[in-house]
Structure 1
Amino acid sequence: MLRTLVRRLGAQAAQGVRGYASEAAPKKSGAASFKPDYDAVRKAVEDLLESNEDYDDGSYGPVLVRLAWHTSGTFDKNTNTGGSNGATMRFLPESNWGANAGLAVARDLLEPVKQKYPWISYSDLWTLAGATAIEAMGGPHIPWRPGRSDYAPQNFVALPDGRLPDGDKDAKHVRDIFYRMGFNDQEIVALCGAHTLGRCHDDRSGFVGPWTNAPTTFSNLYFVELTENKWHKKKWKGPLQYEDKSGQLMMLNTDMWLLWDKKFKPYVQQYAKDEEAFFKDFAAAFSKLLELGVPFPEGSAAASPTPNK
């Protein structure tokens, strides 16, 4: 009976995103009684978040959220390729995509956690780290469940570049990117609210500056700034971006289009006034993002690590 169950689970794991083979999990003694401790992994990630006060604004949280988003945001519902399953950013050329510049910092940061807990896949670790970081920075609990596998390098088939958004584009580009993944306009705006975290770097994206004055706190401040501030084009030799009167805060062209587009704008205004609604919608959309293309066993329920109280 045990052999039948193992074969069945193996068959389920093989039915995933097309074009890849998964690496086999390492054999463990006493595997029948082994119970993965995802709370321990979560705690290990939390311990890393403020381990280097000299990194950016003193927190690795924003770059871990970006890693989780970029490893998941390659999904294409039309071809059933991409997504977080496989941890394909470990391989070239994806690891060197312009959109992924700077994410080696996040991947390297999590490597000691992977070594301490070798049973967790990179794809589960990267997505759990992003969800953990959001909550640790004051955001909502992100429903998360394990079950992703890592693709074997000898069977890896590279994804085409261009699946992640470009900050200097317009509303059509934003919709093209997110509709390809299966999101609607409300979910698009909610997910863009992650720009409340972190900052842009000229040696990565070419853009410069934070969106808010609290880049390590998850809140609805991004929407407040977008709606209440006065924005004008930044006069410089870099790519198109906008800045406020002080010159300290910035918005990308894609951010501005959330305000200019008549279908996006109502959600921007709603989230600027109602942080609770934003948190609720963001948690649902981000959890969906992390699961795109993942072949979870049928009926598999969320097994989120215990949220902080």
Structure 2
Amino acid sequence: MTWSNQEWWPELLRLDILDDNAAELDPYGEDFDYAEAFQELDLDEVKSDIQDVMTDSQEWWPADYGTYGPLFIRMAWHSAGTYRTIDGRAGASGALQRLPPESSWPDNVNLDKARRLLQPVKQKYGRALSWGDLIVLAGNVALETMGFETYGFAGGRVDEYKSNEAVEWGPETEWETTDPERFEDEEVGNLKDPLANTVMGLIYVNPEGPYGEPDLEGSAANIREEFSRMAMDDEETVALIAGGHTFGKVHGADDETEVGPEPEAAPMEDQGLGWDHDFEKAGMITSGIEGPWNSAPTMWDTGYVDNLLEYEWEPHKGPGGAWQWRPASEEEREDIEKAPAAQDFDESEQPMMLTTDVALKHDEDYREVLENFKENPEEFQQAFARAWYKLIHRDMGPAQRFLGPEVPDEEFVWQDPIPDADYETVGEDEVAELEAAIRDADLSRTDLVKTAWASASTYRDSDKRGGANGARIRLEPQKNWEANEPEALADVLDTYEELQAEFNESRDDDVRVSLADLIVLGGNVGVEDAAADAGYDVDVPFEPGRTDATAEQTDADSFEPLEPKADGFRNYLGDGDWNDLYDTLEERMVDKAELLNLSVTELTALVGGMRALGATYDDTDRGVLTDDPGALTNDFFVNLLDMDYEWEPVSDDEQVFEGYERDSGEQVWEATRFDLIFSSNARLRAHADVYAAEDGEEKLVEDFVEVWHKVMTLDRFDLD
């Protein structure tokens, strides 16, 4: 086996996560329009086909209770449930569950069977039905066939064909370890960023309790931490757990050691299936826990909530050797209504609970929700319907990306709604008028560029959140983010609002300009003028049509994770007090570039151009390696690679460096790790060489304008 560069040099900055942004990995090709193909589907026919599969028990993997419904619910839940608000990564989009590492996670045991059961449906509809949509739709169909009324379904998830290497799953090198490095100060319920799952290889929390012990208080703390990182409140958390555990059972008829290797380690003859075991001999083994939660595992009711609240529960080791809970007294164990055995209806099974279930009962706030659900079953139904809809759609972005006849009319605040324009947007003549007004205003070039960047660069391609549309930079919490220099930003926004008001009030027609459009247009003006100062006549494309969101349309709490803790593009270092797993500033810069869907070339051009423009945090000279700041030159790369200078770190943390002339010893420059990585890293230096050449400046200007426009329009799904 040949070692990779990363294995030879583990500390080498990983740039390969940006390569997918420059490559075409979809086998259907770049011209294929999935949205158009999906809209041609007969969704009722698809659902009917899923239902046929769901009730057709196969000998190679027999259905519990005669239906694969609970298995499909678990599959959909585990696909969507990896989503985390910290970086917007994972979730159901892309169908990453069918690729490693998720395909072989211990928590996804036997979900390979669920997907294989759906293979005929996927084959029938081909490119018109992505695996991402099929997995989630199967969960919805399962709920509906068992008596639950779902809130709706939206298609539009486009499949990935390569694992997302940008997702940081944790510091562990083994599954299901109890590594305290996962938690800040080794404290349960205090995960490091960007993690959400509290155990490596599990979707949420350890069902036995923290570190595999039946600790109710610690389990509740982990649940609250985990679900809050999915932007779920206490009611949504309880609704999801209670609703999901209304159906099916867990399988731990024997010790997990009786199970074969996971799919990625299984022998070739198993053809992508893993966890082989003799279920006819031992019963199905998915975990070390065994049993249903209530007496009717294929019917929507309040049986789970009733059992949890009406009985006292005690921990014990089940047949698989794991901690689970049973009614505390012999009398209660006799009294509780039994469920039919999954494979033999003549037999019965006693309901059980997980540590995570009992933790809900013993947490004061969670218990209040449970008791309300018990007293008001309709509220339980509605709460689960809405929370489930949010769970399976949370990573899809704004509602305009939702496809199909079952998309509800209601738009939710977690979808970051943008109002429709009730006016005509500006045309070429009006844009020219506004550009002149911006140039006449009391705004510097760096004001224009930094404000546009701060607005647009919030975008995350992972979950399609953020961006310039909506002008949320003027709202809480974005207007007060340190990286945005709140006092200076407030002055810029005041000026823009005056320009907006003057323009809109002067019109005797229906044409109006939004603040969102004005901010982007101002950034374009700054870039065009900077290029002109360097001797280049460029036009930055501008597509009007953005509108301004209101505070009521903005979930301020869930926007907090979008705040940059550092920003390599503005040379903002942050305070360095990071509760996360990123070791260096340059790793943060590459991570942000990946979220912006940038290639290595685009990253390099964007940083070099921003430095030339002097668009740095607090207007410092750090990284502005030019005597002519504000002009779009290639001076950053020329001087960075110039061997007439040498660099020394300012302090032990090696975040800031000073550049000295070798001959005189005079300090000339100051830069950060964000800057020097473009000369110290071989691959980035190779790109810097291109722009530093005598014929490289024109290319830099062209590339910068192109990537600037790309960032300004990343959230313009209406332009697709």
TM-score interval, smaller chain? 0.7 to 0.9
Q: Distance in 2 between matches of 1:44 and 1:305?
A: 20
Q: Distance in 2 between matches of 1:19 and 1:182?
A: 30
- Quickly say closer, same or farther: Cα 1:19–1:58, change in 2 above 3 A: farther
Moved more, 249-258 or 148-157: 148-157
1:44 aligns with 2:84: no
- Quickly say closer, same or farther: Cα 1:34–1:257, change in 2 above 3 A: closer
Q: Which residue of 2 aligns with 1:10?
A: none
Letter in 2 for 1:266: E
Q: Which residue of 2 aligns with 1:243?
A: 326
Deviation of 1:48 (Å): 1.8
Letter in 2 for 1:141: T
Match of 1:23 among 13, 21, 26: 26
Deviation of 1:32 (Å): 8.6
Match of 2:204 among 164, 172, 179: 164
Q: Distance in 2 between matches of 1:172 and 1:185?
A: 12
Deviation of 1:303 (Å): 3.2
Q: Distance in 1 between matches of 2:37 and 2:115?
A: 30
Q: Secondary structure at the match of 2:353?
A: strand
CA deviation map 1:270-297 (0-9, x unaligned) = 1122221111110100000001222456
- Quickly say closer, same or farther: Cα 1:51–1:154, change in 2 above 3 A: closer
Deviation of 1:34 (Å): 6.7
The higher radius of gyration belongs to 2
1:264 aligns with 2:304: no
User: Contact 2:324–2:353 (CA<8 Å) still a contact in 1?
Assistant: yes
Q: Give the alignment of 1:40-79 within 5 angstroms.
A: 40-52=45-57, 54-79=62-87
User: Contact 1:163–1:177 (CA<8 Å) still a contact in 2?
Assistant: no
User: Contact 1:258–1:265 (CA<8 Å) still a contact in 2?
Assistant: yes
Letter in 1 for 2:235: Q
Q: Secondary structure at the match of 1:232?
A: strand
Q: Report the TM-score when normalising by structure 1.
A: 0.85
Letter in 2 for 1:37: D
Q: Which residue of 2 aligns with 1:199?
A: 249
- Quickly say closer, same or farther: Cα 1:195–1:20, change in 2 above 3 A: farther
User: Contact 2:99–2:163 (CA<8 Å) still a contact in 1?
Assistant: no
Q: Which residue of 2 aligns with 1:222?
A: 304
User: Contact 2:361–2:370 (CA<8 Å) still a contact in 1?
Assistant: yes
Question: Could you list the runs of 5+ residues in structure 1 that have no partner in the other structure?
Answer: 1-17
CA deviation map 1:253-276 (0-9, x unaligned) = 000011000000011111122221
Q: Which residue of 2 aligns with 1:90?
A: 98
Question: Could you list the runs of 5+ residues in structure 2 that have no partner in the other structure?
Answer: 1-17, 170-200, 210-218, 253-284, 328-332, 335-348, 409-720
User: Contact 2:318–2:324 (CA<8 Å) still a contact in 1?
Assistant: no
User: Contact 1:211–1:249 (CA<8 Å) still a contact in 2?
Assistant: yes
User: Contact 1:84–1:290 (CA<8 Å) still a contact in 2?
Assistant: yes
Q: Which residue of 2 aligns with 1:289?
A: 391
Q: Give the alignment of 1:41-190 within 5 angstroms.
A: 41-52=46-57, 54-118=62-126, 119-153=128-162, 157=166, 160=169, 161-169=201-209, 170-190=219-239
Q: Distance in 2 between matches of 1:73 and 1:34?
A: 26
- Quickly say closer, same or farther: Cα 1:25–1:181, change in 2 above 3 A: farther
Letter in 2 for 1:233: P
Moved more, 233-242 or 69-78: 233-242
User: Contact 2:110–2:286 (CA<8 Å) still a contact in 1?
Assistant: yes
Deviation of 1:229 (Å): 2.2
Q: Distance in 2 between matches of 1:230 and 1:19?
A: 55
Q: Secondary structure at the match of 1:292?
A: helix
Q: Distance in 1 between matches of 2:159 and 2:312?
A: 45
Q: Which residue of 2 aligns with 1:13?
A: none
Give the % identical residues. 33
Question: Over aligned residues, Cα RMSD in angstroms?
Answer: 2.6
- Quickly say closer, same or farther: Cα 1:157–1:117, change in 2 above 3 A: farther
Q: Distance in 2 between matches of 1:33 and 1:120?
A: 6
- Quickly say closer, same or farther: Cα 1:214–1:287, change in 2 above 3 A: same
- Equivalent pairs, count: 287
Deviation of 1:37 (Å): 1.5
User: Contact 2:251–2:290 (CA<8 Å) still a contact in 1?
Assistant: yes
CA deviation map 1:24-79 (0-9, x unaligned) = 65759xx7997121111111111122211842222100010001100000011111
Q: Distance in 2 between matches of 1:215 and 1:57?
A: 8
User: Contact 2:38–2:155 (CA<8 Å) still a contact in 1?
Assistant: no
User: Contact 2:155–2:403 (CA<8 Å) still a contact in 1?
Assistant: no
Q: Report the TM-score when normalising by structure 2.
A: 0.38
User: Contact 1:86–1:150 (CA<8 Å) still a contact in 2?
Assistant: yes
Deviation of 1:86 (Å): 0.6
Deviation of 1:298 (Å): 3.3
Q: Secondary structure at the match of 2:120?
A: helix
Q: Secondary structure at the match of 2:49?
A: helix
Q: Distance in 2 between matches of 1:190 and 1:226?
A: 14
Q: Which runs of 4+ in 1 moved over 3 A?
A: 18-22, 24-28, 31-34, 154-159, 295-303
Q: Which residue of 2 aligns with 1:274?
A: 376
CA deviation map 1:3-24 (0-9, x unaligned) = xxxxxxxxxxxxxxx9966736
User: Contact 2:144–2:150 (CA<8 Å) still a contact in 1?
Assistant: yes
User: Contact 1:131–1:142 (CA<8 Å) still a contact in 2?
Assistant: no
